[in-house]
Structure 1
Amino acid sequence: MIPADAGELVTTHDIAEKYKAPEKTVMYWTALPGFPEAWPSGPGRTLVRDAMLVDKWLKENLPVHWARGQDSDNPHGLPSGRPEDLVTLSDICAWEGKALGRTEPVPEVTLRSYMSKKPPKMPGPDRVPGDGKEPEVTGRRWFRKTAYEFVNRPRRMRRQKPVETAATEQTPAADRTPPVPLSLPRPGNLGIREIATMFGVSGPTARDWTRVDDFPAAGDDGYDPAKVVEWVRVNRKRSWTAAQRRAGLTGRAWPSVQATDSSAKAPEPQAEAPPTGKTASRGWQEALTVTKISERYGVPLSTIRRWTKTKEKREGRTVLRAAFPAPLDNDSAEVVFPPGDVDNWVRQNRPHVWAAYTGSGPVLVNPLPEGDPLDLLDSQDFAELLGMTTRGEPLLRSTIAAYHGRGQIPFADRTSGDGKKPEVFSDHWYRRTVERFILSRRGSGWFSEKT
């Protein structure tokens, strides 16, 4: 997600190029406390940052490197004057301290040691007492031009030692907050599927993790969640950061809609009392054909045919997916279904369709997170937001790409090369567009062709 107030966006390569530093050095800066937060953008989810915030942080914390990125002969704002003005050693000490980002001048003994080195690190005085030049001086003096060339010289800066907590984070924000507890897909130990769900990666990727030598060993009933989380935090920082971002979308961990006791028996379907009003007027007692189900819920006929093919899926004793109700035995050649069972199945397994049918409004598994309506969300953010609010787990980015290609979600508000600010490198949607879609959806998309 790119915040609504973001300005020009820069990558690690852009930062290294502007401030004339190796990319490894820039990666080290990102682990220092307070370095601006990064947001994934583009097809490869490249991390980008606000250029203005990066420049501000470097000015406050690494002024030597900051000065290299300024298109100015006087980046430190030294006093203006004529090049031949005579200045003292104490003046140069004050300017040197300013260039190093210090509030106090550099000690004079430091600069004297610079002049005594071989070769000298600082030029000697341009004027000395008794040199016979005008005006006469009573102490060592330097021309302003000589002093400024010394202060603005190319520098090497010692690496700063990061604090302990910063060394384990990839993209720390300026206002650092404790890690958000991750919601477990289910209580107890984890399988490969649960690991993939927790960290938003594919099953093969999670399986590859478990084959790494230092990955926590599996017990009789799976992997210990605490050990897995710690391993990912240390060894897969990108996935850890993404999981933290998902868990913190609402300022708390997403609740798990499937967090049921694995030892509990599968829930028995409960009969629902016939509804009144709008629902009853649509023929509660009448057996439903596929066509009538489509008309009843306002969903395409092809979608209803897919519903009827839904099979039950279990994991142990837990029902992960309920089967569509069995058809009624009748003498008619057309297959019909019991309306009460169909309504129960739709209410439990397609809550957004049921909400549209009954007129009760959208039903979300998790509430929409707060944010600026003009925040820019990419396809991964779209997948996470849509999946977490409607299913309790993120969708795949490829799913959103397929929906977008078929016109089943709104077309992107921002595209690569559209000339708008901030620049984006892939399709992005405003948060308000995504939220409007989530709150209005009732099944397959009905968006027209892009013009």
Structure 2
Amino acid sequence: MIPADADELVTSQDIAEKYEANEGNVAYWTTLPGFPEGWPSGPGRTLVRDAALVDEWLKENLPVHWAKGQDSDNPFGLPAGGPKDLVTLSDICAWEGKALGRTEPVPEATLRSYMSKKPPKMPGPDRVPGDGKAPEVTERRWFRETAYAFVNRPRRMRRQTKAEEPVSTAQAPAAGSALPSRSSTARTEHLDAQAIATTYSVSGQTARGWIRAEGFPEAGERGYNAADVDEWVRENRRRTWVTAQRRAQLSGHAWAGPSAADEDAGAEKKRAAPAPAAEPAAEAQGEQAQLTAEMIGPRYGVSEYTGLQWTKVKEKREGDKVVRRAFPAPRSTQPRTYDQREVDAWVEKHRPHVWAAFKGTGPALVHDLPEGDPRDLLDIYDFAEVLGMTTRGEALARETIRAYHARGQVPYADRTADDGKKPRVFQDHWYRETVYGFVLSRRGSGRFGPRR
């Protein structure tokens, strides 16, 4: 997700190039207190940051590097004046302190030591007492152009030692803490390979490679222990761990399971909801209504194809927990017919948005929509998570959203890579309001026309 107020976005490589540092320096800066957080973006989930916030942080904390990134001959805002104006050593001390980001001038003894070195690190005075030039001076003086050339000189930053590194008050996560995740899979006590891939936003092939790696936790009867997997990733895949932590924090919403209070509130809603529309007379008389496979989609206001796809849904488990029920088995096979009551119960449970539209009770969501600025930019991962969690209780695969997008079954992206707008994006993004509008209005496929 890219916040709505972000303007220009930069990668670590962009930062290194602009401020004349190597990527190792930038990687170290990202660990310092207050350095702007990044958001995964683009096909490779590269972290990007707000360029203005990075520039502001460098100006305050690393002014030497900040000055290298300014397209100006006077990045420190030194006072205007004629190049041959005469300035004192104390003036230069104040300007040097400003260039180093200090509130106090540099001691005069420091600059005098610069002049005494061989070769000198600071040019000697242009005027001295008794040199016979006009105007007469009573102490050593430098031309303004000489002083400014010294203050604005190219600089090298001395590597900080351990004793000089700022002390961070942030506490590291506890060794046994569970990683906040993009989906409900990370909240269970045990994970399978697919759940590991989803938790850390890596491919299934990568997750299976981890499982085969030496030292990876052994699988129990119910799968891999989530805390043990977290510990292994934290120790052996540090970058993936940090990225997953940041992404969980930036998502701005934890997909919590329903509490007892939520269930009570749901019961109140059910009691307060209007009575459902009358069922067909055959059902009212106690007859067993049957639906053919082709009748399922049209009954609920979606396409016949969508209904046929529902009949292929298999049961999904996470350990001993059933997170998705299989579609009801057909009562007969020639032709395939299903018990209408069983299908109704399945649609109400696993496609609540379709059921709500069918009953005319308004949108029904498994989880509430996360709060956020309507103009926040959500990428395809965010879209898949929001749509899946609100309508099914589990995140969708990004390939599903990509396929929907290609077929025009979801709104076309509001922002595309290199579209010339700000902030720069590296792949398709949607405004939060676009995604939420789709979630709340969605009944089935084919609602969006050709791209304009």
Q: Give RMSD over aligned pairs.
A: 2.9
State the match for 2:324 in structure 1. 321
State the match for 1:305 in structure 2. 308
Between 1:376-385 and 1:103-112, the stretch displaced more is 376-385
Alignment of 1:174-185 (within 5 A): 181-182=180-181, 185=186
State the match for 1:4 in structure 2. 4
CA contact (8 A) 2:404 2:410 kept: yes
**Structure 1 residue 186, shift from structure 2 partner:** 5.5
**Structure 1 residue 414, shift from structure 2 partner:** 1.5
Judged with a 3 Å threshold, the aligned counterparts in structure 2 of structure 1 residues 415 and 251 are, in CA distance, closer, same or farther, namely closer
**Structure 1 residue 75, shift from structure 2 partner:** 1.0
CA distance in 2, matches of 1:282, 1:234: 64
**Structure 1 residue 288, shift from structure 2 partner:** 2.1
Whether 1:56 and 2:41 are equivalent positions in the alignment is no
Counterpart of 1:296 in structure 2: which amino acid? R
Between 1:308-317 and 1:136-145, the stretch displaced more is 308-317
Alignment of 1:264-413 (within 5 A): 277-281=276-280, 284=283, 285=287, 286-314=289-317, 317-328=320-331, 334-413=335-414
Counterpart of 2:396 in structure 1: which amino acid? L
Identity of aligned residues (%): 67
CA distance in 1, matches of 2:397, 2:119: 61
**Structure 1 residue 370, shift from structure 2 partner:** 1.0
Counterpart of 1:278 in structure 2: which amino acid? A
State the match for 1:199 in structure 2. 200
Please give the per-residue CA displacement for 1:294-325, whole angstroms capped at 9, x wherever unaligned: 33201211222222333445566543432332
Q: Is the partner of 1:280 in helix, strand or coil?
A: coil
CA distance in 2, matches of 1:95, 1:401: 55
CA contact (8 A) 2:178 2:230 kept: no
Whether 1:126 and 2:136 are equivalent positions in the alignment is no
CA contact (8 A) 2:39 2:250 kept: no
Q: Is the partner of 2:191 in helix, strand or coil?
A: coil
Whether 1:83 and 2:86 are equivalent positions in the alignment is no
Between 1:92-101 and 1:197-206, the stretch displaced more is 197-206
Judged with a 3 Å threshold, the aligned counterparts in structure 2 of structure 1 residues 419 and 233 are, in CA distance, closer, same or farther, namely same
**Structure 1 residue 445, shift from structure 2 partner:** 3.8
Structure 1: gaps spanning 5 or more residues: 170-177, 258-274
Judged with a 3 Å threshold, the aligned counterparts in structure 2 of structure 1 residues 123 and 244 are, in CA distance, closer, same or farther, namely same
State the match for 1:228 in structure 2. 229
CA contact (8 A) 2:253 2:371 kept: no
TM-score, with normalisation over the residues of structure 2?
0.84
**Structure 1 residue 449, shift from structure 2 partner:** 2.0
**Structure 1 residue 121, shift from structure 2 partner:** 0.6
Between 1:19-28 and 1:102-111, the stretch displaced more is 19-28
CA distance in 2, matches of 1:388, 1:397: 13
The total of aligned residue pairs comes to 424
**Structure 1 residue 433, shift from structure 2 partner:** 0.6
Between 1:216-225 and 1:414-423, the stretch displaced more is 216-225
State the match for 1:208 in structure 2. 209
Structure 2: gaps spanning 5 or more residues: 259-273
State the match for 2:266 in structure 1. none
Counterpart of 1:11 in structure 2: which amino acid? T
CA distance in 2, matches of 1:31, 1:134: 54
CA distance in 2, matches of 1:371, 1:225: 29
CA distance in 2, matches of 1:123, 1:315: 72
State the match for 2:443 in structure 1. 442
Please give the per-residue CA displacement for 1:216-247, whole angstroms capped at 9, x wherever unaligned: 45556544422322333454355435543554
CA contact (8 A) 1:388 1:394 kept: yes
Alignment of 1:116-195 (within 5 A): 116-160=116-160, 161=165, 163=167, 181-182=180-181, 185=186, 187-195=188-196
